Amino acid sequence: MPRKKTKIDSLKHFVNGDFFGYFILLVIIINSVLIGIETYHTDQWIVIVQTTCLYIFVAELLLKYLTKDSNRAFFTSGWNIFDIIIVASAFVPAVSSVSTILRILRVFRVFRMIRAVPELKLMVSVLVRSFSSLGYVALLLGIFFYIYAIIGVELFGKDFQEFATLKEASFSLFTSLTLEGWADLRHAAVAKYGFWMPTLYHVSWVIISAFLMFNLVVGAIINNYQVVDDKEKSVRELPNDFSAEELLQIRNLVTELDRLLNRRGTPPVHVRNYLSSQMGFPEPTHDHTSVCPHCGQTYHIRNKMAGKQATCRKCKMKFTLDPG
């Protein structure tokens, strides 16, 4: 039976509602525009509006804290920590040694727009999730960088300053990676060494770095986008009787429970109905029933388990899993 809604539940519904979200987005946009205007000139009204926006951000943080699922959930959220740092930095006294840093931190308030727009937040989540796979792509690219830099020094280092040292060769290859200037480097080398060697070197590098590696990066991001999008959809489709964090924990526990139930037997009817209709889990399926000949204990088994030896959990005797 659903629990009765409290004042905190009503406040949470308001904070998570569209009206509050659009209002905060409007405040962020106003704040961002005024930060840009301040680079030209500063008026008293700009300072007043900026201060008002700041206190609205403080109120937003307080409301989100009051409607939190738990202290742990609130303070382990990267977005909440980011908001706290940005808002708290505005209250640090602007002494001369840190005034420039504080002014720069104010610019980061513009990033709060990412959290206010779900699509932008999804994209950031995808990029964060892609860092691990992109790290291996970067490692592979670094290996190619090192190999081609050494080859460049050996081939062109005596006659071209761009490949005189390993550092200069690496920088020249990075310039070629952006598809800027690599044709000029090739033409200069062709005039000195002929057509084939400089052409093979530069063209192969552009193909490997600018095309193959770029496609690997795009593939990793698209794959993680699908994973994060499916995860967000599953969270949005969860029942509303519990918090999102509680329901994620329930889904993980029920997944493990479903695995165990497939081994031990069929769960009660009301449990199966709740799993299938409310939580989106399919009913455990079994192919056959096997009975322990020693004590009569019943087990639900799949086809692949038929004929295998098993130990009865009730009488501890071994028997063969024969479909009944």
pLDDT for 181-217, tens place per residue?
Answer: 888 888 888 888 888 888 999 889 888 888 888 888 8
Q: Which region among 151-155, 195-199, 296-300, 320-324 has the lowest average model confidence (pLDDT)? A: 320-324
Structural tokens at position 58: 């403080």
DSSP structure class, residue 158: T
Q: Give yes or no for a contact between 68 and 244, defined as CB atoms under 8 angstroms apart.
A: no
- DSSP string over 243-264: -HHHHHHHHHHHHHHHHHHHHH
pLDDT digits (tens, 9 = 90+) for 237-256: 555 555 555 655 666 676 66
Average predicted confidence (pLDDT) for the chain: 76
Provide the β-strand partners of residue 310.
319
Residue 66 pLDDT greater than 60, yes or no: yes
Determine the pLDDT at residue 150: 92
Closest CA relative to residue 224, chosen from 127, 119, 79: 127
Residue 105's region, left for phi above 0, alpha for psi from -120 to 50, else beta, is: alpha
Residue 83 pLDDT greater than 50, yes or no: yes
CA distances from 37 to 107, 109, 134 (A): 12, 15, 37
Residue 153 pLDDT greater than 50, yes or no: yes
pLDDT band at 267 (very low <50, low <70, confident <90, very high): very low
Is the domain covering 7-116 a CATH 1.20.58.100 domain?
Answer: no
In this structure, what is the dihedral angle of CA atoms 106, 111, 116, 119, given to the nearest 10 degrees? 170
Residue ranges per structural domain of the chain: 7-116, 121-235
pLDDT greater at residue 304 or residue 231: 231
Determine the pLDDT at residue 4: 60
Residue 228 pLDDT greater than 60, yes or no: yes
Q: How far apart are CA 104 and CA 58, in angstroms?
A: 19
pLDDT digits (tens, 9 = 90+) for 18-62: 888 888 888 888 888 888 888 888 788 888 988 898 888 889 889
Return the CATH number of the domain spanning residue range 121-235: 1.10.287.70
∠ CA 112-98-107, rounded to 5°: 20
Taking the alpha carbons at both ends of the chain, their separation in whole angstroms is 39
Which distant-in-sequence residues (6+ apart) come within 8 Å of 239 by Cβ? 247, 278, 279
Residue whose structure tokens are 């009944």? 324
Q: Give yes or no for a contact between 291 and 298, defined as CB atoms under 8 angstroms apart.
A: yes
